[in-house]
Structure 1
Amino acid sequence: MTEHYDVAVIGLGVMGAATLSALARQGVHAIGLDRFAPPHAHGSSHGQTRMVRVAYAESPVYAPMARRAIDLWRELEQRTGTALLTQSGVLYGGPPEGAFMQGVHTAAQRHNIPLMDAPKGSILRHGMRLPDDWPAVLESDGGFVLAEEAVQAFLLDAMAHRALVRNDNPSAPPRRNARGFVLETNGAPVHAENIIVTAGPWTAHILPALAPLLRLQRRVLHWFDDPKGKMSKTSNFHPFGIETAQNGFLYGFPALDKTGVKIAEHIIDDPLASVDALQPNGTATDMAHIDPLVQTHLPLVGARKTMAACIYTMSPDEHFIIDEAPGQSGIYVGAGFSGHGFKFAPLIGEALAALAMGQDCDFPTAFFALGRFAT
């Protein structure tokens, strides 16, 4: 006898895992599918850590979302007994006229987010160097989340509430039938009344109509030695974000273990024609892009220890896409998280679950709707 699900979630990175957890906790009969065994290193949900920012420069809509997401991370920790979120504070720096620092201050003023000026001496003691005329502030509410552990916690939470997790993937786009949809997979077909697609860089394979709105970028994460022991979590080194003189963004995290200090950038446009085109290992070109910035702003780091690549799925305006799929009633999508969505995963999971179940949700759905791209 064929089993029929209320909802099938395709893609179990952090967004899909959070969505499956939210559905299962409501008692929804749900299944989650992923072509790999999550957590894995094939998409956008790996790399040890993800930053949590509250004084959000990109848009006023994000600060209230970040605050709610922090509460939901804490609830997930309590349900699963897993330590995930460290609110260590985040240090921001950059040119005073830069869009990022101005946006941080605007968000802080609008949403009453406390910022503390960071004296230059304190910055140097903690391993960072900024020009004398660049301001730096510490946001105490921010911090970081453990990436792979977060995916695992959501999946364990979902399974504890009777969701099914299956290592499989659709071999064709969803096919409608009298009771909803059929997903042909490498294993047995999956029958579901509704479908939620959170497949990251594979989204356009499942929903081809979204291909014009989603572009892929390769990003490289770097880990460096901490020879003086001043850039670790135990030495109170803060996660940081620096707007560079070239209008780019350098960011990083304290060393948590022997892997080292993680540093990455939002500067280089490295487009991917497809997921299959990803070069997963770091290259000499990747090192050349970031090393001058590291030498300028982080003089205490030592030798590079390792590198890893991930994929960003970018929307045209770099805001998220959370909506019903165009022309496909009953199929919902979370995509285009553009390199800054991870921190919001528990909130986005609740929003996607509510969409699929026809429920009201305290979430700015209209801001992330596909209608904004209509011409």
Structure 2
Amino acid sequence: MEYSTTVTHAALVARLRAAKRPFLTTHFKPDGDAMGSVLALARALRSLGTTVDAVLAGPVDRSIRGLALEGEIRFVDHGLAIPSADCDVAVVLDTGAWSQLEHCRDWLKEHPELVVGIDHHARGDAVAPMRIVDRGCASCTQVLVAVIDEMGVPFGPSARTARNTIAEAIFVGLATDTGWFRFSAADDRVFQLAARLLTCGVDKDGLYRMIEQGDAPGRPLLTGRALNSLTYACGGRVAIMRLMRTDFVETGTRVDDLAGLVNEPMGVREVEMSVLLVESDPQLVKASFRSKPAANSGGAFIDVNHLAAHFDGGGHVHAAGARIAASMDDAVRLVLDACAVYLEDTPVAG
């Protein structure tokens, strides 16, 4: 199917405004953009007097969990997270993949007429018949800007610092999905939007400290375990790290302490792609893929979204993920084989 926009902003906003009990959710194990998207839309709808059921499922990194006020989000760490019986619209944000919606997938499939999607990924399934998909946006929160502007809701106060605003939630998604404005997706539109959000009172320094400098004490130990497992492949172009369940136990960490760890080898000159493999169960490995942008404008780079799709995963050209039903040793072999085949036709960057 073609994963693209099927509705105008005006029609989507009319649907949201008419809703009495909207349900908002995003992909399992939400990151900064996913949480920021849910928070931004929830705050916008609540400002209109709407009762919102905003749900995040799976582990949430402790560094972003504090972005929500008490009661703003329903956190469901395990099991199903489905709407109430009176739900009249279900909004799925920052994903269009069934594989990322296990917490509410069956419910969504049973009620397609109620599902609305807002996303910025290149690939997706038929999750939401009514959807806006803008692959030109660096984050889902950037896609939401036009939606919230159409709603006529202000992002926050101007000329003074303010916490827990729509602007803050949008900024978090924008900043984290662009590596704090370092990634190639951070174009002129991103910086223009960031400037607009700063005028709405966003405290960028405070957010950076909260999100990027709030690791648990065991995080450096976990990073050491990952780096100790580091191997290079494909002529040094690919770096692969692995973490076993015992690594988390022995360092006193959890899977929500992994944010950004996959990027550690990217400082090596020859490395074009980094892969972090994390054992979830003896026969299930979660894979995170990252790649560098082209060294020169129009040059070659590794499309990790393409690689992740080989394992029924997905994401962006420079950041993607997948789940591999295999042991760790077999997962390493499968990833190496996929990388070797892909890189045969991909010239060395630089």
> Do both share a fold (TM > 0.5)?
no
Which band: TM-score by shorter chain?
under 0.3
More helix by share: 2
TM-score by length of structure 2 reads: 0.27
TM-score by length of structure 1 reads: 0.25
Higher relative contact order (CA 8 A, sep 6+): 1
